[in-house]
Structure 1
Amino acid sequence: MPSLFSSAKDLAKGVRLAADTAVWAGNAVSRHVKGSKSGVCLVCNNLQPYGHEDTFGRPSAAWNQLSDPRQAARKKELASVPTLVLEEIPTKKILESREVDPKTGLPKNDCKYCRLLCEIFDAYFVDEWMNWITETKNGMPIQVGLMIREGAPLIVNCWNFTYDKWFQNPRVDLELYMDPMPPSPIPGAPTMGPTGYRATDVRSEECMRFMKESINECCRTHPGCATQPNGFAPTRLIYVGGGKDALRLCDNIPSGSNIAWAALSHCWGGGKPLSLTKSTLHDLKERINFSELPATFQDAITVTQELGLAYVWIDSLCIVQDDKTDWEKEAALMGAVYSRAFIVISGASSPNPSTPYLRPREEEWLPKRFNFPIAPGANIPITVRQRHLLAAPLDQGLLEPPFTGSWATLKKVGPLYARGWCFQESFLASRILNFAPGAIIYECRTHRKSEDQLPPYPCTIPGTLGEVTPLEQWHMIVKSYTSRQLTFTSDKLPAIAGAATIMPQAGRSKYLAGLWSESLLLDLLVCVYQETSFIIRGYYPRDISKPLNELFA
C-alpha cells in the first residue's frame, strides 16, 4: 500500500512539473512574439524584472526544478518582490544595439537599455590592455549577467572582461542606481533601488563612525559573536594604550589575563618590514618607534586606538623571525590568536607593508554618471560603481552564510584575498574589519555589512540555507584555500591547520595533514592539474574544480 501512495505522489509531482514546464514555455513564446510590438528587448528585458518567463515566482521548467529543487523553492519564497536573474548574455547580442543592419539601415537591436550597457562597458573595460568590443568581435568568451530586484541596485555581472592570472573566468560586478533616488519609480527607467554612501577617503569621519557603530551594535545585540573566555592570551602583544609615543612589545603575558586585542591580517608582499628578531627583542620591549613602522602597521595601530583597545597582535612583531623554534610554537597558536581576538583588522587593499589602507580611494572605485534617455529630449542621470564584493546569488535572498556554493567560489576583491595564510585568519575571526579597495566591510558571525550598504544586512549564520555535512564543509574550505597563493610551499599545511581545529570532525576524528581519518579513503583521491602538484582531496585550483568522486560517478 505505501508503494502505491508513493507512486501516486510521484505521478502527481510529474504532472505538476509537466504543467509548469508547459506554462513556462508558453510565457517564453508569448514574450518573444509580443516583444517587438511592446518594445521589450529580448536580450536585456529592458533592465526590469517584469513579464519574463524566469521572473521569480512564475512556473519554471521541470529541468530547473529537478536540478535544484531547493533553489526553485527559494525563488518562490522570494517572489513577493519582483526579481529576475538573466545569466550568460553574450556581449555580441548587446553590441548589436550599436550595429546597423545594412539591408534596413536600422540598428540590429534598437534597444536604448543595451546601448546604456555599451556605454558603461566603454567606461570600465576599454584600456591599453583590453577592449571589450575587440574581445567580442574576436569571439572571446565574454558575457554578461543581470541581477534585477525591485528596490535594490541593479547588478551587472561582467564575466571575462578583465584578465586575472590566478582565476579562470574572472568576474567584475557593477551596480546601477540613482543618486539621489527619486521618491517613486520613473517610467521607462531601469529598475533600480537606493544604495549607501561610499566615502572617497578611508580616513574620513564617516568611515571611522561606521567602524565603531558596527562593532558597538554587534557587542550589544549579537550574543553569538562574543568569544567565551578560556584563559588564552598570545605570548606577545604590542601595547598601544599609551599613545603612539609609548608603543612597546609585551611578552610573557599570563594566562587568564582577560586582555582584549586586535589582530592584523596583512600581505607581506615581498617586503621586509620592521620585525622581531633575537637582536631586536630587548629594544622593542623598551619602545617601538611609530615612524619606523611600515604603513600597514601604523594603520593597524591607528584603528586599534580608534576602537579603544590597548593591544594589537602583528605577526612579524610578535613572532621571533630568526628563531625556528619560536616560529613553530607561535604558528601553532595563530588559530587561537585570530579566533580569540576581539577584532581582526584585514588590510585587504594593501599589496605590501608600505602601502597604507587608510588612504583616499582609487579612481576606479569612485562612481561614474551616465545620461539615459527616458523619452525624446528627456534624460535622467544613472550612477554606476564597481562592487567591492561579488554579488551573491539572488535566490539566496539575504542569506550569505559560510558553506554556500557562492562562499567557496566568489572572489573577493583585494590583494590579501589571494594569499593562503590570510584564509584562516579571516575564517577564524569572530569579528573582522575588511579594508577592501572599494569599501570597509564589517563581518561577524551574525551578519555582514559594508559602509555603502543599506539595511537589511545579509545573514551569515551557518546552516540557514540547509544542512551541509562536516565533510562537505571541509571540502569547501579546501577549495577556497587552494585557490590562493603561498610564498613558501612549506607553509601549505600550517596555513590551514587553524581552520581544522574548529571543525566538527576535530572532536571525533584524527586530523592527518589536511585530511581526516573518518574520510581518509575519499580524501586521498588526489588530482594534478597543469602546474599544480599537490591538492588536497582532488580539488583543482581555480573555479573549474570538481572532486574526483563526482568525476568518476
Structure 2
Amino acid sequence: MQLWANVYPMDFSDAMLDLWNSYGEDSSTSSKTTQVLISCWNYWCQEAHPYCRSATGDNPPLLPRRVLDIRAFDTVTLKIRLRIPKRGSRAKYAALSHCWGKSQPLRTLKNNLSTMGKEIRWKDLPTSFADAIIIARARSLNYLWIDSLCIMQDSPEDWAEQSAQMGEIYRNCDICIGAADASDGTAGCFRDRQGLENRPVKLWETPPNLLLPDYGNSGPVYAFSVNRDKNDNPFQRRAWVLQEQLLCPRYISFGKSGVSWACLTTELSENSPQSFHGIADWSNGRFYYRKTFQAGISGLLDLKEHSADSLKLYQSWLLIMEAYSQRELTKSSDRLAALAGIASKFEQATSDQYLA
C-alpha cells in the first residue's frame, strides 16, 4: 500500500464508506465498486446541489441531430444504432470526450450513414466507445453522443453545422465521460488498479489532542492517498477537451489510477470522494476560471456592468484563452471551431459580440 498523505478532519460519511467497501473486489475502474461510487456522486449532484439544479433545469434537453441509441445494449441483441431523433425530441444523454489519436476511430461517412442507422456491430466499436456505452447504461441513459459517429466526417457541410452546435451538445448532456488515459479510441476508458490504495481510511473517531490540539471533538479524522493522476497526459493537452470539460454540467474522468468527478458545485475523486470545501475561487495562487465561467453561462452570477462577478467572468475568459493556447490541435483549421462553443456561451452571458 502506498504512503498515505494529506490527513484532514472531515465530516465523511461512514455509511458511504461501508457501502463502498461492501462490494469487495476493486481491481479495475470497471468494477461494481466504482459504479456505486459514481452513482453516489451523481445522486448527490442531482438531489443535493441547488447550484447544479439551477444551472441545468428540470426538463430533459433537446437531443442532438444524431445520437447513438443504446437502449438495447443490455439485452441479448447488444444492438447499437445511429438514430436521427424527431425534431423537438427531448431526453437525457451522455457525451464522450476522447482523443482520436493516430488510429482513426470508427466514423460515420456518407456511404455508411444508412448502415449505421440500422445497426453498429458491437465488435466494430473501438474500446473507448464500447466502454462509454457501458458507463452510460450504468447511469440508465438511453442515448450517447460521440463526435466521430454523430457527425458525417466526409461532409464539410455537416461538420461545419454540427461543430457549431457542439457548445449546446456538451452543455446539454447529462454527463460527459472522459477517456482521460487513452491516446486513441483503442485504449478504452477502464484501467486495472488497486482501488483500496485510493480509498480514505479513518484514523480516529476523535483525534488525539496532542496531534490536533485545536480540533476538539467535532468528528473523525481520515487519511487520503496521494492522487497519482497528473494533467500531463495527451488527453489534457488536447484543445478540443478544454471546451468539452468547461461546457458540460457533470464530467466523469476515467484516469490511470481512478475516476474523478466535476460539477458546478464540487470536484471529487476516489482519493477524496466527498468534498469538504467545494470548488474554491482560487487554487495555488491562481484564479480558478472553470467555476466562474460555468456559473456565468448558467445565469448564476450578477453580471451588471462593472460588478465584481462581471470582472471575474472577464478574467476567466483571459485565463481560458491562456489555457487553450497551450493545447494541441491535430488540424490547425480547427483552431476557432474547438473554441466556438466557449465563445458562443460567453457571448450570450455578457451580451458582447464575438469577433474572430
1:360-371 → structure 2 map (5 Å cutoff): 360-361=192-193
Residue among 233, 240, 253 paired with 1:434: 253
- Measured against aligned partners, the alpha-carbon deviations of 1:467-524 in whole angstroms (never above 9, x if no partner) come to 55332111010111111110011111110111112226754221012xxxxxxxxxxx
- Measured against aligned partners, the alpha-carbon deviations of 1:116-173 in whole angstroms (never above 9, x if no partner) come to xxxx9xx9xxxxxxxxxxxxxxxxxxxxxxxx976379xxxxxxxxxxxxxxxxxxxx
Is it true that 1:280 corresponds to 2:112 in the alignment?
yes
- Measured against aligned partners, the alpha-carbon deviations of 1:436-467 in whole angstroms (never above 9, x if no partner) come to 22221011111111122153344237459x85
1:145-160 → structure 2 map (5 Å cutoff): 151=8
Is it true that 1:246 corresponds to 2:86 in the alignment?
no
Letter in 1 for 2:51: G
Residues 505 and 282 (structure 1), Cα distance of their counterparts in 2 relative to 1, 3 Å cut: closer
Cα distance in 1 for partners of 2:327, 2:243 equals: 11
Asked if 2 retains the 8 angstrom alpha-carbon contact of 1:268 and 1:353, the reply is: yes
In structure 2, the partner of 1:350 is: 182
1:294-333 → structure 2 map (5 Å cutoff): 294-333=126-165
Residues 343 and 208 (structure 1), Cα distance of their counterparts in 2 relative to 1, 3 Å cut: same
In structure 2, the partner of 1:216 is: 43
**When the two structures are aligned, how many residues end up with a matched partner?**
286
Q: Which runs of 5+ in 2 are unaligned?
A: 11-23, 200-222, 281-290, 296-307
In structure 2, the partner of 1:519 is: none
Q: Select between 451-460 and 433-442 the one with higher mean Cα deviation.
A: 451-460
Residue among 29, 39, 47 paired with 1:202: 29
In structure 2, the partner of 1:477 is: 320
- TM-score, normalization: structure 1? 0.48
Percent identity among equivalent residues? Answer: 29
Letter in 1 for 2:40: E
Letter in 1 for 2:243: Q
Residues 220 and 279 (structure 1), Cα distance of their counterparts in 2 relative to 1, 3 Å cut: same
Cα distance in 2 for partners of 1:225, 1:414 equals: 29
Cα distance in 1 for partners of 2:346, 2:224 equals: 41
- Measured against aligned partners, the alpha-carbon deviations of 1:221-240 in whole angstroms (never above 9, x if no partner) come to 12322323486320000000
Residues 219 and 506 (structure 1), Cα distance of their counterparts in 2 relative to 1, 3 Å cut: closer
Cα distance in 2 for partners of 1:415, 1:429 equals: 20
Asked if 2 retains the 8 angstrom alpha-carbon contact of 1:202 and 1:359, the reply is: yes
- Measured against aligned partners, the alpha-carbon deviations of 1:327-352 in whole angstroms (never above 9, x if no partner) come to 00000001110000010001111111
Cα distance in 2 for partners of 1:334, 1:272 equals: 20
Q: Which runs of 5+ in 1 are unaligned?
A: 1-119, 124-147, 154-196, 368-382, 391-411, 514-553
- Measured against aligned partners, the alpha-carbon deviations of 1:207-233 in whole angstroms (never above 9, x if no partner) come to 111111111111111232232348632
User: What SS does the aligned partner of 1:502 have?
Assistant: helix
Asked if 1 retains the 8 angstrom alpha-carbon contact of 2:224 and 2:272, the reply is: no
Residues 488 and 362 (structure 1), Cα distance of their counterparts in 2 relative to 1, 3 Å cut: farther
Asked if 1 retains the 8 angstrom alpha-carbon contact of 2:61 and 2:173, the reply is: no
Cα distance in 2 for partners of 1:450, 1:231 equals: 27
In structure 1, the partner of 2:227 is: 387
Report the aligned-residue RMSD.
3.0
Residues 434 and 485 (structure 1), Cα distance of their counterparts in 2 relative to 1, 3 Å cut: same
Asked if 2 retains the 8 angstrom alpha-carbon contact of 1:442 and 1:448, the reply is: yes
1:491-510 → structure 2 map (5 Å cutoff): 491-503=334-346, 506-510=349-353
Is it true that 1:418 corresponds to 2:227 in the alignment?
no
Cα distance in 2 for partners of 1:234, 1:487 equals: 25
Higher relative contact order (CA 8 A, sep 6+): 2
Letter in 2 for 1:315: D
- Measured against aligned partners, the alpha-carbon deviations of 1:263-314 in whole angstroms (never above 9, x if no partner) come to 0000001111211001110111000101111100000001011111100000
Residue among 339, 350, 374 paired with 2:171: 339
In structure 2, the partner of 1:450 is: 269
Cα distance in 2 for partners of 1:210, 1:283 equals: 37
Cα distance in 1 for partners of 2:194, 2:157 equals: 42
Asked if 2 retains the 8 angstrom alpha-carbon contact of 1:448 and 1:457, the reply is: no
Asked if 1 retains the 8 angstrom alpha-carbon contact of 2:179 and 2:254, the reply is: yes
Cα distance in 1 for partners of 2:114, 2:348 equals: 42
Asked if 1 retains the 8 angstrom alpha-carbon contact of 2:98 and 2:179, the reply is: yes
Asked if 1 retains the 8 angstrom alpha-carbon contact of 2:225 and 2:271, the reply is: no
Letter in 2 for 1:215: N
Cα distance in 1 for partners of 2:39, 2:337 equals: 33
Residues 436 and 324 (structure 1), Cα distance of their counterparts in 2 relative to 1, 3 Å cut: same
Letter in 2 for 1:446: T
Asked if 2 retains the 8 angstrom alpha-carbon contact of 1:201 and 1:361, the reply is: yes
Asked if 1 retains the 8 angstrom alpha-carbon contact of 2:129 and 2:185, the reply is: yes
Cα distance in 2 for partners of 1:261, 1:495 equals: 21
Letter in 2 for 1:487: T
Asked if 2 retains the 8 angstrom alpha-carbon contact of 1:388 and 1:413, the reply is: no
Cα distance in 2 for partners of 1:421, 1:362 equals: 31
